Amino acid sequence: MSIKTTRDAIRETLIAEMERDPRVFVIGEDIAGGMGAPGEQDAWGGVFGVTKGLLGRFGRERVIDTPISETGFLGLGIGAANAGLRPVVEIMFVDFFGVCFDQVLNNMAKFRYMYGGKASTPITVRTSYGAGFGAAAQHSQALYPMFAHIPGIKVALPSNPYDAKGLLTAAIRDEDPVIFFEHKGLYDEQGEVPDESYVLPFGEAAVVREGKDCCIVAFGRMVLLARQAAEILAREGIETTIVDPRTIAPLDTDTIVEAIAGCGRLVVVDEASPVCGMASEIAALAATECPRALKAAVQKVTPPAVPIPFSPALEAAYLPTAEAIAAAVRKTLQ
């Protein structure tokens, strides 16, 4: 057990799984870096440095740089998975799923069912998401609700290094396709992470904090903001429960509903766009599963429904904040 960043936790998971299982390989744009460019091997390790060091250990056979052909290499991963390998494909930014969306929507998500249970596509797709870095409309989206909408894939959304390691291990060992979301703002976050491997099962939410007054359900990096909000509120004497679903497909509705019903008040915090997002999904759970328990209107804390602006000032106004979450909680208590 030692303190590690999310970046390092993900990297050590990849290394462990590649050592454990020769079928595991990683593929993506600049995932090693320097392909075809003598003299600068392993300079990058992906645009966020997550896969740095893999090339030296596993060589070009298992650490594969690609051209900018997401449909091609995601499809390659799908085919390799069908053939029994365990590809870990990186789509550099979640926004780029646009150019290879069909391979998710109509292919990897459909195979097992559509081919009568006879196909198996054990692929893991890692991707980065999230705003806050001046990356503007095409490099800052969250988008995971769209993937949760598609039956046939699993979606992990870790909020800390420990969960990242356990969920990624589970993803790689899973017999079905998983999309693994890494928030850009969490790569440098630190936390305790055991050195040995462990699996966090999908579909088990974490109750991060317990308090009787209001339940906050938050996703990914929003869990950090929720914790800050909870601190602010605690100083005011308001006790909150925080639930971090960790995976959104499958979703641990039991734990979430129990927490909502226990508090009678609900705030949902989601970095994704507000319509048909996870905030609505959780609010809907309250309405379908425990409406009688609700003592106040559910509050959604999300960005507005606009593309993500570039200017730092506008982007700051766009994103949820701890203060906005605290205000929403206070509102449920009025």
Ligand X SMILES: Cc1ncc(C[n+]2csc(CCOP(=O)(O)OP(=O)(O)O)c2C)c(N)n1
Does 69 interact with a copy of itself (rule: CB under 8 A)?
no
Strand order in the sheet with 206-209: 206-209, 240-244, 214-218, 266-269, 299-301
Question: Which two three-digit tokens encode residue 306?
Answer: 């606009």
Q: Which stretch binds ligand X (CB under 6 A): 10-18, 91-99, 124-132, 230-238?
A: 91-99
Q: What is the size of the binding site for other proteins (CB under 8 A)?
A: 86
Residue closer to other proteins by CB (options 193, 283) is: 193
User: Within positions 33 to 72, which residues make up the interface with other proteins, using CB under 8 A?
Assistant: 33-37, 39-40, 43-44, 46-49, 61, 64-69, 71-72
Closest to a copy of itself by CB, 186 or 298: 298
Partner that binds at residue 288, options a copy of itself, ligand X, other proteins, none, CB closer than 5 to 8 Å by kind? a copy of itself
* Shortest Å, Cβ 135 to ligand X: 10
Q: How far is the CB of 280 from other proteins (least distance, A)?
A: 24
Q: Cα-flanking dihedrals φ and ψ of residue 152, to 5°?
A: 110, -5
76 binds other proteins (CB under 8 A): yes
CA 74, CA 334: separation in Å to the nearest integer?
A: 50
Q: How many CB atoms lie within 10 A of CB 199?
A: 15
Whether 139 is catalytic is: yes
Under DSSP, the state recorded for 274 is S
The residue from 4, 62, 126, 139 that is catalytic is: 139
Between 126 and 227, name the residue whose CB sits nearer to other proteins: 227
| Minimum distance of other proteins from residue 42's CB (angstroms) | 10
Examine residue 250 and say whether the peptide bond preceding it is cis (omega within 30 degrees of 0): yes
Interface positions, 253-292, toward a copy of itself (CB under 8 A)? 266, 272-273, 275-281, 283-284, 286-292
- Nearest to other proteins of 178, 224 (CB atom): 224
CA distance to 2, 53, 144, 331, per residue, from 190 (Å): 10, 20, 23, 32
Sheet architecture: strand order including 247-249: 63-65, 24-28, 86-93, 124-129, 178-183, 154-156, 247-249
Residue from 81, 92, 172, 200 that binds ligand X (CB under 6 A)? Answer: 92
Which amino acid does the sequence have at 125? V
Q: Using CA atoms of 163, 327, 234, 1 in order, give the dihedral in degrees to the nearest 10.
A: 10
Q: State the minimum distance, in angstroms, from the CB of residue 29 to ligand X.
A: 5
DSSP SS3 for 116:
coil
Residue 298 site contact among ligand X, a copy of itself, other proteins, none (CB < 5 to 8 Å, cut-off depends on kind):
a copy of itself
For residue 270, which amino acid is it?
D
Amino acid at 318: Y
Enumerate binding residues for ligand X (CB under 6 A). Answer: 29, 68, 70, 92, 96, 99
Catalytic residues: 139
